[in-house]
Structure 1
Amino acid sequence: MAPGPDFLIVSKNALVSGRRAGMACAAGITTGVFCWAIVTALGLAGLLAASAVAFTVVKLAGAAYLLVLGVRTLLTARRGRYTAPGSAAGTGSAFRQGLVCNLLNPKVAAFFLALLPQFVPEGAGAGDHLLLAAVASGVTLVWFLVLANVVGALRRVLSATRVRRAIDAVMGTLLVGLGVRIALP
């Protein structure tokens, strides 16, 4: 629940394109969490964490993606020409943004690698791993759906041009900052 790239991307989509886009982004993030949980259960996340090259590639790809999103948001704030509410990215685009943001975040793999084994008994079957993946995904989905709906409900207030420019400037700066932080050792 700590604010990070996923938090920012859901907030941005809900603010710019409305609740549906925020919820679609939340579904994309949840799909990413489910994928990471399954990959961890299969032991592939351990390979990623053990391979410095693979980990670095995923880390740098994630950093580049956050930088692109951040720069786009900063450019939007600078221009200040906003389209009518609801006419920005659709739900498909928001879903992809959430999915890609989550899948390119190697910290999610590290989180699951550190956390998942503690909750799986020795000799656990595929069903146990699947249940744990479903629980992690469910918690993620509920949290980000709440966030998308809160931001969506405040959208009318947050859509004023001055407020929107300020929010875009802060979000863009945070996304760029996160991208730089992830890219640096």
Structure 2
Amino acid sequence: MSTVQMLGLGGVILVAAMSPGPDFFIVTRSSALSGRRAGMACAAGIAGGVFLWSVVSALGVAGLLAASAVAFTIVKLLGAGYLMLLGVRALLAARRGGYEATADLPADGPSAAAAFRQGLLTNLLNPKVAVFFLALLPQFVPAEPAVTDTISLGAVAALVSLTWFTVLANVVGALRGLLARASVRRAIDTVMGTLLVAFGVRIVLQSN
């Protein structure tokens, strides 16, 4: 890939990453409730998912998923179910309350390891990500791509995603003085839980 191609790909990936979606809300919630470390771990998980999707798309494997209605539906339902599960957990946490008025790690917030898994699974179980890369990567992949070309594509996509979501995690983490208040935590869980459930429902209702 030339430098111009890398910059072009990175720009498109950045715009897509900045669009509010499941990844955005997962990182925001992790950072707000558990701090920068969890938020950045979640960002790393998302970047890992982006790398895998971009590589399999460049190899053409994701094309099989997009071409198979059954496989696409299975992944879609798994992803929707996972988002709704996270959303319901957040709503239950808001209902239970019991938040401590401290800036320390809250009991109901995800640990760094859990945040990484949430970021990775949220991205990998979103078939729309596969469709996005299948539509995008042919414009950047050579006619006969080498292994280095495929790895470069994945690395650029993952690095851009990691950079953006790490910035987001640090911005949200910097506001922890405000976010440590129990009323704010409850509001975050309520809003994020509702949005995650809504995203899950939307994925189920969307056609292929």
Q: Among 57, 69, 76, which residue is 2:86 paired with?
A: 69
2:20 corresponds in structure 1 to 3
Aligned length: 185
Q: Which amino acid aligns with 2:203?
A: I
Give unpaired runs (5+ residues) of structure 1: none
Separation in 2 of the partners of 1:104 and 1:127? 26
1:139 corresponds in structure 2 to 160
Tell me by how many angstroms 1:121 deviates: 2.1
Q: Which amino acid aligns with 2:135?
A: A
TM-score by length of 1: 0.96
Separation in 2 of the partners of 1:43 and 1:123? 12
Q: Which amino acid aligns with 1:46?
A: G
Q: Which moved more, 1:86-95 or 1:132-141?
A: 86-95
Tell me by how many angstroms 1:126 deviates: 1.4
Q: Among 36, 53, 66, which residue is 1:49 paired with?
A: 66
Separation in 2 of the partners of 1:135 and 1:15? 27
* 2:76 is equivalent to residue 59 of structure 1: yes
Q: C-alpha deviations, 1:2-40, integer Å up to 9, x for none?
A: 010001111111111110000000000000000001111
- What's the secondary structure of 1:144's corresponding residue? helix
Tell me by how many angstroms 1:124 deviates: 2.2
* 2:174 is equivalent to residue 157 of structure 1: no
Q: Among 99, 105, 116, which residue is 1:86 paired with?
A: 105
Give unpaired runs (5+ residues) of structure 2: 1-17
Stretches (4+) displaced over 2 A: none
Q: C-alpha deviations, 1:82-137, integer Å up to 9, x for none?
A: 25531442211111110011000001100100001101122221111111110011
- What's the secondary structure of 1:148's corresponding residue? helix
Separation in 2 of the partners of 1:172 and 1:97? 14
Cα RMSD for the two superposed structures? 1.1
